[in-house]
Chains A and B, each alone.
Chain A
Amino acid sequence: MLKLSKVCKTFNEGTINEKRALIDIDLELDEGDFVTVIGGNGAGKSTLLNLIAGVHDVDSGSIVLDGTDITNQKEHMRAKFLGRVFQDPMMGTAASMEIEENLAIARRRGQKRSLRWGITHEEKFHYSERLKSLDLGLETRMHSKVGLLSGGQRQALTLLMATLKKPRLLLLDEHTAALDPKTAQKVLALTEEIVGRDALTTFMVTHNMRDAIRYGNRLIMMNEGRIIYDVRGEEKRTLQVSDLLKKFETMDAEGAVNDRILLGLKVE
């Protein structure tokens, strides 16, 4: 359903800070795939996700979603197909607006905004039901400003917003990295629940090897702008942290991985 062909991206080209973020990426996602993406700092995970979302333009190559070439489509145009949750819990919501106002904006993702009232009575009831399913007590605070919520609550709300209107592809950019471990696990469990219930095709970038192994049906490892490992099915199910570490060590022997990257992997 999503196909990336020969995608390249270089930042600050021609300057001393030149960084080849992605090199000839070929990747194909199948319907219903839940892909976890791991790799060290600067491996290109977030860049890959941002190119799919349209935050940056690709230098070369193409991105095709459901048969439509979206390579040159603007960010707000592709948003129609994409649900996104960011690493920074502040990024996904409007802090000065109420919970229900944020949800109402998200429910209209990809639709033309009219001069109708921004939120209807029926949808308020619907939101309260959905908030109840988060089990955070937010359904009683629908008029609270989002800025008053904790990071975990905001991230759960962003997740709900991203899936309120069913996306073709859910993009999660290290969405639990800024949370404490307990909250992170809760948000991840919630993610799995929503993804499973709606059978969403999902692309989840993470720093955490255990999470990358525990969730999803497919795992991609990235390094220095390339995909270096891609497992799925039975092989993915039986994967151990030690296997991933070994993978990194062999790369280390080849000189492809250095300590900085290993440290970036936060082994637990």
Chain B
Amino acid sequence: MGILLAMQGAVSQGVLWSIMTLGLFITFKILNFADMTVDGSFALGGSISAVMIVKLGLNPYVSLLVAFAAGTLAGSITGFLHTKLKIPGILAGILTMIALYSINIRIMGQANTPLLNIKTMLSLFEDLGLEKTTGSLIIGSVFSLGIVFIMYWFFGTEVGSVIRATGDNERMVRAQGVDTDSMKNIGLMISNGLVALSGAMVAQSQGYADVGMGTGTIVIGLASIIIGEVVFGRRFSFWYRLLAVVLGSIIYRVIIAVVLQLGLKSTDLKLLTAVIVALALGIPVFQKNVSKRRA
């Protein structure tokens, strides 16, 4: 019974985190940009949402919107550092991430904000007599599927197509009269907006926001994307790839839950995640070496 409960919790967590993974998909897969900002913007979303609810008494759903907006702002700062100041992408992301650590503590006035006995996005479901995890699952699914739909539409538009092309071949895009800097900025903003939104939803679902809640977000996101690709394949249409991202996030959480049930400590998880990502990224190199030796 315990394991079943843990699984349900894992799936609902996976759905909430999948929104972050969809954001990371934009930078990592579409723009070909490893954006470290997400560690900071995930916690930023959580912090802002928690403070809005606790200190300002704002509607929890409105706080999600504010978190999204704050995330886009964080993304635009990384974009500015990278495109205007010509700072390498990884470093630009790290700078924003580090800055956000201080900013998040400023926002909350302390390192964390509990959300106990207060209306959150889940109160609606609790009033109906549903479990918190069930509520998270429902609202998470609605949001992530909605976002998959919007992303599918957006990346099919004129602007979206050019953003995709920018991740592929910047020179070609400039030759077609498009400012690639703006395209990267738009991508970074949407991406970090989604990451912050996910952070806000996770904070509300777990009942607190913490300045450290974003640590390792990028690695978790990469692991989820890679798991989705490995399980569902990658040579498929765009909406299929987006759904694979969502399912990859869920599978990642299920794997974590299973490993925890087997007796691993929760503090070991970051090591485990890093190993998964390193292995997955290394497999193509390994395969190439093997086929070369056979040839």
Contacts and interface: CB of A to CB of B under 8 A. Distances in A.
Interface string B144-179: 000000000010111111101100110111111111
A76 B171 contact: no
B176 A118 contact: no
B29 to A, nearest CB: 10
Nearest to A80: B177
B41 interface: no
Contacts of B156: 117-118
A109 to B, nearest CB: 5
A92 interface: yes
A86 B169 CA distance: 13
A29 interface: no
B211 to A, nearest CB: 36
Given A79-B175, A109-B176, A113-B178, A118 B168 contact: no
A114 interface: yes
Nearest to B169: A94
Contact of A105 (B154, B162, B171, B179): B162
Contacts of B165: 94, 97, 101-102, 105
A92 B175 contact: yes
Interface string B5-27: 00000000000000000000000
B168 A96 contact: yes
A203 B93 CA distance: 42
B174 A76 contact: yes
Interface string A72-98: 001111011010101000111111110
A95 B165 CA distance: 9
A115 B171 contact: no
A101 B172 contact: no
A116 B176 contact: no
Nearest to B166: A94
A116 B158 contact: yes
Given A76-B174, A76-B179, A79-B176, A113 B169 contact: no
Interface string B242-273: 00000000000000000000000000000000
B92 to A, nearest CB: 21
A108 B176 contact: yes
A146 to B, nearest CB: 9
A106 B171 contact: no
B161 A115 contact: no
**What secondary structure prevails in chain B residues at the interface with A?**
helix
A32 interface: no
Contacts, number: 82
B180 interface: yes
B127 to A, nearest CB: 38
B157 A116 contact: yes
Given A76-B174, A76-B179, A114 B158 contact: yes
B164 A97 contact: yes
A138 interface: no
Given A94-B165, A97-B168, A105-B165, A118 B175 contact: no
A2 B177 CA distance: 19
Contacts of B179: 74, 76
A118 B174 contact: no
B177 A118 contact: no
A55 to B, nearest CB: 8
B158 A110 contact: no
Contacts of A92: 172, 175
A91 B154 CA distance: 25
Given A76-B174, A76-B177, A105-B176, A117 B157 contact: yes
Contacts of B162: 105, 113
A114 B157 contact: yes
A104 B162 CA distance: 10
A111 interface: yes
Contacts of B159: 113-115
A72 to B, nearest CB: 15
B158 A95 contact: no
Nearest to B180: A76
Nearest to B179: A76
A93 B177 contact: no
* 9 closest A-B pairs by CB: A79-B177, A118-B161, A94-B168, A113-B158, A110-B177, A94-B165, A113-B159, A109-B177, A115-B157
6 contacts: A53-B175, A94-B168, A96-B164, A97-B161, A109-B177, A111-B177
Interface of B: 154, 156-162, 164-165, 168-169, 171-180
Given A77-B177, A111-B177, A118-B156, 17 more contacts: A76-B174, A79-B178, A82-B175, A90-B169, A94-B164, A94-B165, A94-B168, A95-B169, A101-B161, A105-B161, A105-B165, A108-B177, A110-B177, A115-B159, A116-B158, A118-B157, A161-B176
